Amino acid sequence: MFSGKIRKIPLSRRSIRTRFAYKFSKALKELNQKRTFSSSLEAYNRRCYMVKMASYASLASAAGSRRTWSRALLWKIRRNKGLMRTNKSAAPRRRISSLISKKEENPNNNGEDLLGLEGLRKLVPGGEVMDALSLFDETADYIKCLTIQVQIMRKFVHFYSG
Amino acid sequence: MSSRRSRSRHSSTVSRVNEDQINELVSNLQQLLPELRNRCSDKVSAARVLQETCNYIRNLHREVDDLSERLSELLANQDTTQAALIRSLLMQQQS
C-alpha cells in the first residue's frame, strides 16, 4: 500500500536526484540488455563510453529543458550518436575530430576574457554561445547537477559491488 | 527627453554586464566550491573563483569518467557471475 502511494507521484514532480537515479538505472538496464559478450579492448572501451553517455544523458533529461546546458548536452550526445550510426562503415573518427577542432578554432572573443571566461565556456555545455550573466547562472546549476550525478553514481557503484 | 537619453546610455552599460550582478554571481559560484566555500568572499578575486570553478568542473568530469568505468566493469562482471550461476544450476539439473 505504501509503495503504491509513492508510485503515484509523477516523476516530473520529484527531485532531480530521484529523476536522475531513475533515468540512469533504466538506461543501464537497457545497455545491459543489448550487451555483446565480447571481451576485447574495443568492446570494453565502448561499454565505458556508453555508460558515460547514458549518465550524462540521464542528467540532462533529469535537469529538464529549461536549462541551456542540459539542452546543449542532450543535443551533443544525440549528434554524436547519429554520427556513430551513420558512419559505421566510413571513418567516423575523422569526422568527429574535425568537427571538434573546427569549434575550438573560432572562440568568440568579445573582450570578456579579462575574467577568464573562455575556460568556463569550453567546460559548460552550450557555454560558447551564452552571454556572461547566463554563463555564470548556468555554470552554478551545472555544478550542482554534476555533484548530484557523482553522488548517485557512487551509490550505484556501491550497490553493484556490495 | 533627457531621461530617455540617460536610459539609453544606461542600457548600453547594462548590456556590458553590471558589476554588482557579476560580483553576486561570482560569490554564488564561490559557495559551490569546496575549496573556497569557507573563505571570506572579498578576500578571493573573481579570477581565482573562475579558475577554481574550471578545476572543480574538470575534477567532476574526471570522476564521472572513473565511475562510468567502474560501473561498466561491475555490470559486466555481474552478468558473467549471473551467467556462471545459471550455467552451474543447469549442470546440476542435467546430472
B44 and chain A in contact, CB less than 8 A: no
> Distance (Å, rounded) from C-alpha B84 to C-alpha B80?
6
Domain-embedded: residue B40: yes
pLDDT at A113: 53
Domain-embedded: residue B43: yes
pLDDT at A14: 86
pLDDT at A139: 96
pLDDT at B5: 46
Q: Could you tell me if residue A47 is left (phi over 0), alpha (psi between -120 and 50 degrees) or otherwise beta?
A: alpha
CB A38 within 8 A of CB B85: no
Domain-embedded: residue B57: yes
Parse chain A into domains and list their residue ranges: 15-88+118-161
Contact at CB, A48 and B46, closer than 8 angstroms = no
pLDDT lower than 70: segments of chain B: 1-17, 41, 79, 81-82, 93-95
> Distance (Å, rounded) from C-alpha B87 to C-alpha B95?
12
Worst-scoring range by mean pLDDT, A14-18, A19-23, A83-87, B8-12? B8-12
pLDDT at B91: 76
Contact at CB, A117 and B71, closer than 8 angstroms = no
- Average the pLDDT over A46-73 and give the result: 95
**Number of folded domains in chain B?**
1
- Taking the CA of residue A71 and the nearest CA in chain B, the distance in Å comes to 18
- Average the pLDDT over A14-34 and give the result: 91
- Taking the CA of residue B78 and the nearest CA in chain A, the distance in Å comes to 8
> Distance (Å, rounded) from C-alpha A101 to C-alpha B78?
39
pLDDT at A162: 74
Task: Note the pLDDT tens digit of each residue in A76-123.
Answer: 999 988 776 665 444 444 444 444 444 444 444 444 455 678 899 999
- Taking the CA of residue B45 and the nearest CA in chain A, the distance in Å comes to 10
Tell me which of A73, A146, A151, A159 to substitute to probe the interface with B (most B C-beta atoms closer than 10 Å). Answer: A146
> Distance (Å, rounded) from C-alpha B24 to C-alpha B22?
5
Torsion sign, CA atoms A67, A68, A73, A74: positive
pLDDT at B58: 97
pLDDT at B84: 73
More confident residue, A60 or A102: A60
The x, y and z cell numbers of residue A114, run together, are 579579462
CB A152 within 8 A of CB A17: yes
pLDDT at A52: 96
Nearest CA to B74 out of A78, A42, A125, A31 is that of: A31
Query: Of all residues in chain B, what percent carry a pLDDT higher than 70?
Result: 73
Query: Of all residues in chain A, what percent carry a pLDDT higher than 90?
Result: 51
Domain that holds residue B54: 2-69
Mean pLDDT across chain A: 80
Contact at CB, A150 and B29, closer than 8 angstroms = no
- Taking the CA of residue A5 and the nearest CA in chain B, the distance in Å comes to 31
Helix, strand, coil fractions of chain A, as percent rounded to 5: 75, 0, 25
CB B32 within 8 A of CB A140: yes
Nearest CA to A21 out of A148, A162, A158, A160 is that of: A148
ipTM of the complex: 0.77
- Average the pLDDT over A51-64 and give the result: 96
> Distance (Å, rounded) from C-alpha A61 to C-alpha A71?
8
Tell me which of B72, B77, B82, B86 to substitute to probe the interface with A (most A C-beta atoms closer than 10 Å). Answer: B72
Domain-embedded: residue B93: no
